[in-house]
Amino acid sequence: MRLPSLVVLLLAGCPEDPPPACITVDTTCSPGYVPTFENVYNNTMREGCGSMKSSCHSAAGRAGGMSLADIDTAYAQLLDPAQGRVKPGDPACSEMIVRTNSPGADYQMPPGDALAAPAQCALVQWVQMGAMR
């Protein structure tokens, strides 16, 4: 490879990989709290993802068109079948689970520090149990 070609490749960088459609998840894990939607929202989503403090999915932030600023909007948008964010009963192929259970990946949510294992587990088990409200 000639030097100019190598320089172009290095300057171009690596494109972000999209998240996979499905991953392997442990549904027998130990959640940090009872995995109901209200608990998942209040203990993990509201402050960690949807508040103005974190702002990724706040009313103002709306990353990916998703707002977690209030519980009703969060539930409706997570369960919108056209989006595939949460597939009730199928955590391994739910985008929210793929993103929150992929530490170190470009598409990891939240960006930076991954969710603690008990919070990840609560999300997985809530989806596994049908993602009921």
Q: pLDDT tens, 16-49?
A: 678 999 999 999 999 999 999 999 999 988 776 6
Cβ neighbours of residue 99 closer than 8 Å, sequence gap 6 or more: 19, 107, 108, 109
3-state secondary structure of 100: helix
pLDDT band at 2 (very low <50, low <70, confident <90, very high): very low
Q: What is the pLDDT of residues 76-109, one digit of tens each?
A: 999 999 988 999 999 999 999 999 999 889 988 8
Can you give the pLDDT at residue 11? 39
Predicted TM-score (pTM) of the model is: 0.80
Instruction: Find tokens 């909007």 and name the residue.
Output: 73
Q: What is the DSSP letter of 48?
A: I
Average pLDDT, the chain: 82
pLDDT value at residue 13: 40
